[in-house]
Structure 1
Amino acid sequence: MLNKYGLTLITAALLASPMLSTIANADSGPEIADSKLQAGFKATLVTEGIDIPWGMTQLPNGDLLVTEREGEIKVVRDGKLLDQTISGLPDIHDYGQGGLLDIVVDPDYANNGWLYFTYSTEEGEGSNTALMRAKLDGMQLVEQQVLYKAEGESEKRQHYGSRIVFDQNGDLFFSIGDRGMRDENPQNLALDSGKIYRIKADGSIPDDNPFVGDKDAKPAVFSYGHRNPQGMAMDPTTGNIWATEHGPKGGDEVNLIQKGLNYGWPVISYGVNYSGTSFTDLTEKDGMEQPKINWTPSLAPSGLTFVTSDKYPEWKGKMLAGSMKFNYLVLLTVDGDKVVSQEKIFKDVGRVRNVYQAPDGFIYLGIDGQGIKKIVSEN
């Protein structure tokens, strides 16, 4: 049986175990430490009324669009949650960890008006993740276009992903988890799921995608061997794409996503089954990428963003990730292709589902069971 956050009762009990209540790294990455960089800031509640706020994006008029996983796009305007939700969504399969997932605006939204979002759908047999774009006409979505629909549906209730990010060239990256089929999907390039994909904004495939022309591979695949990436962000300085990924019991990861590379799931892992038994003896293998950080025990990483705002001067250039398990944020210092330090801030802020730096310069947090919080100065 799963609870409303998509966890089995056994998994939830394991995550709450005192034996797993501290952070340590198995073999990779700097130790996580308490930080003084939270000083002078607080997380203040913007609005309640959103139970599982998966994705957030801000329109040029300041409206904050928030996806409620059960299948609604809600609007926060001038700090208040509107009663009316946005209509015109496709049929959303609210199923286990599936539902309405991430949402982003096009980098050229002011001129083209495109919104992009991922969701789970029952189209075909079983259920899998799809990517759609649409435009807003008032409070209604119009001109809906399905850009990608993962095939090879699963009846499992877990690991839909999903995050969306644009790179500096305007190409769109999105993640889909392994759909609970670890031995079938992640290592098979002919099957969807357990992958990070790259397409153009109109859904076409870039000519330089790594597996274009390979008849035994999905041409949209950019990287593979993933379990369930639920955080993704672009470093505005280097253009690198980073992702956080849920491991099993232990072995959560921070990965630098690179073209055509295999990230190893489930052949290599720093985690074990939730029961404590082993599913692999390998933590590394030739041809498979090592994580830049692995977290053992798992902290259940969620949203991910790079801080560029002048509102947080000591955080600028750092990467900010949420922990659903430990109810805090992790501030990661990145130097090129390495993570050189990590610090926890805002302990007990709540079960962080999403972390988003909006165009208005503020960092917003989606907190399961609470709603939306904003990080502001205490002064």
Structure 2
Amino acid sequence: MSPRFRSPSLALSAVLMAGCAGADAPLTPEERDNLSATPVVEGLDQPWSLAMLSDSEWLISERGGALRRVVQGQLRDTPVSGVPAVVAKGQGGLFDVLPHPDFADNHQLYLSYAKACGDGGATTAVGRGVYRDGELVDFQDLFVAESACTDTAKHFGGRIVIDDDGYLFLTVGDRGERDRAQDTGDHGGSVLRLHDDGRVPEDNPLVGDANAQPEIWSWGHRNPQGLALHPDSGEPWLNEHGPRGGDEINRVEAGVNYGWPVITYGREYYGPSIGQEKKDGYAQPLHYWTPSIAPSGMVFVTSQRYPDWRGDVLSGALKLTHLNRVRFDGTEAVEELRYLTDRGERLRDVRQGPDGYLYLLTDAPDGKLLRVEPPS
């Protein structure tokens, strides 16, 4: 047992046991060639996240630290000013960009990023400022995962969403030090829940536990790279990277332990098993991928432009370079389809625009913003 491990409180045991149902086997994926993607913007440097502020202005974060403007469909040369300094090292950099739900009135913009900490280390942070016409002003950190400071430069997580009740969710990876994910005294390997101003909600599951971090909503995660709200329940769902196999889709529930590295369908990169596939007290994924696809940005499809896809989960794939679609019946994954495999491009983010089209970001030094044309 890791010296940093602390057991969750007994009050959560019933919740943990309830979270054990999930996928019994991966689906057999089908490849489809009836989809095309049209470049909208080119010349991006490793884009990471896309935010639609209005019909006329979108923002794209680049991992190196620049926040780029797309105005009336054209990429502006000058990046947004006032963006915080980021640690663009390894997998670190500028991550998600998210407008506040009331952005049209308050102009508040959230950024997650790798922030310098300790002696040459970095950690995951989220902050907000006020954005107008290419300038971000009064940017302040709302939360910094101090306990997840390390010099490993990987597994930052960094996805953010704000739900209909105004709660901000932030993913933090295990930082490449897997025991962190089972230590509730450490922010690593967790999904955090905050008020939109960074305060800790009093009904978070570990509030009152002196040995736990009160921001934690769920734990036992490896490196969540996609995060989206279910269109019916409003709950956050995520996808996350496994090691060699064992990438997952999970419904994120309060006080639930998702098992990494005690349970996983993945293996060590050099071959041996890591843990068990199932164990009482640890939640099973709703869906998993073996071999790994390296899932990234994630969205639920609600647009009328793709009527046969409504309610399905779309994820980008970095390693297996495709657009991944999983259909669910409730919480049961029933079909997996793969598109755009012939392009051979790493897909970092997937978003649904105000025009109903789906948009993709390609992860490359000459990255693109692509519009997904409805399937024939």
TM normalised by structure 1 equals: 0.88
Q: Does 1:155 find its partner at 2:151? A: yes
Decide which of 169, 173, 196 is 1:173's aligned counterpart: 169
Aligned partner of 1:143: which letter? D
CA distance in 2, matches of 1:157, 1:348: 31
Q: Secondary structure at the match of 2:110?
A: strand
Q: Secondary structure at the match of 2:117?
A: coil
Deviations 1:99-124 (A, max 9, x none): 00011111111111111111001133
Q: How big is the shift at 1:62?
A: 2.3
Match of 1:305 in 2: 299
Match of 1:376 in 2: 373
TM normalised by structure 2 equals: 0.89
Q: How big is the shift at 1:237?
A: 1.2
Aligned partner of 1:115: which letter? L
Q: How does 1:115-134 map to 2 (within 5 A)?
A: 115-125=109-119, 126-134=121-129
Decide which of 336, 340, 345 is 1:346's aligned counterpart: 340
CA distance in 2, matches of 1:299, 1:315: 20
Q: Secondary structure at the match of 1:248?
A: coil
Kindly indicate whether the alpha-carbon contact (under 8 Å) linking 2:306 and 2:375 is maintained by their aligned counterparts in 1.
no
Match of 2:220 in 1: 225
Deviations 1:56-96 (A, max 9, x none): 10112521100000100011122221101001111111110
Kindly indicate whether the alpha-carbon contact (under 8 Å) linking 2:55 and 2:354 is maintained by their aligned counterparts in 1.
no
Decide which of 248, 272, 275 is 1:277's aligned counterpart: 272
Q: Does 1:76 find its partner at 2:70? A: yes
CA distance in 1, matches of 2:217, 2:25: 24
CA distance in 2, matches of 1:360, 1:219: 39
Q: Bigger shift: 99-108 or 355-364? A: 355-364
Q: Bigger shift: 256-265 or 73-82? A: 73-82
Seen in structure 2, the aligned counterparts of structure 1 residues 333 and 378 have a Cα distance that, compared at 3 Å, is closer
Q: Bigger shift: 47-56 or 96-105? A: 47-56
Q: How big is the shift at 1:378?
A: 7.9
Aligned partner of 1:30: which letter? L
Q: How does 1:195-214 map to 2 (within 5 A)?
A: 195-214=190-209
CA distance in 2, matches of 1:296, 1:29: 7
Kindly indicate whether the alpha-carbon contact (under 8 Å) linking 1:28 and 1:292 is maintained by their aligned counterparts in 2.
no
Q: Secondary structure at the match of 2:146?
A: coil
Decide which of 180, 188, 201 is 1:193's aligned counterpart: 188
Q: How big is the shift at 1:245?
A: 0.5
Match of 1:287 in 2: 281
Kindly indicate whether the alpha-carbon contact (under 8 Å) linking 2:317 and 2:348 is maintained by their aligned counterparts in 1.
yes
Q: How big is the shift at 1:141?
A: 0.7
Match of 1:357 in 2: 352
Aligned partner of 1:189: which letter? T
Seen in structure 2, the aligned counterparts of structure 1 residues 240 and 337 have a Cα distance that, compared at 3 Å, is farther
Q: How big is the shift at 1:203?
A: 0.8
Deviations 1:213-269 (A, max 9, x none): 111111110000100000011111121211111000111111111111000111111
**Equivalent residues, number:** 349
Kindly indicate whether the alpha-carbon contact (under 8 Å) linking 2:56 and 2:73 is maintained by their aligned counterparts in 1.
no
Match of 1:19 in 2: none
Match of 2:3 in 1: none
Q: Secondary structure at the match of 1:111?
A: helix
Match of 1:23 in 2: none
Aligned partner of 2:267: which letter? V
CA distance in 2, matches of 1:278, 1:340: 27
Match of 1:94 in 2: 88
Aligned partner of 2:324: which letter? V
Q: How does 1:218-257 map to 2 (within 5 A)?
A: 218-257=213-252
* Unaligned segments of structure 1, at least 5 residues: 1-25
Kindly indicate whether the alpha-carbon contact (under 8 Å) linking 2:360 and 2:371 is maintained by their aligned counterparts in 1.
yes
Q: Secondary structure at the match of 1:344?
A: strand
CA distance in 2, matches of 1:232, 1:130: 16
Q: How big is the shift at 1:137?
A: 3.0
Aligned partner of 2:327: which letter? T
Match of 2:135 in 1: 140
CA distance in 2, matches of 1:317, 1:134: 32
CA distance in 2, matches of 1:170, 1:334: 26
Kindly indicate whether the alpha-carbon contact (under 8 Å) linking 1:30 and 1:342 is maintained by their aligned counterparts in 2.
yes
Q: Bigger shift: 332-341 or 112-121? A: 332-341
Deviations 1:320-365 (A, max 9, x none): 1111111111111122222222111222341101111122322110
Kindly indicate whether the alpha-carbon contact (under 8 Å) linking 1:326 and 1:348 is maintained by their aligned counterparts in 2.
no
Match of 2:29 in 1: 32
Q: How big is the shift at 1:301?
A: 0.4
Q: How big is the shift at 1:27?
A: 4.5
CA distance in 1, matches of 2:294, 2:325: 15
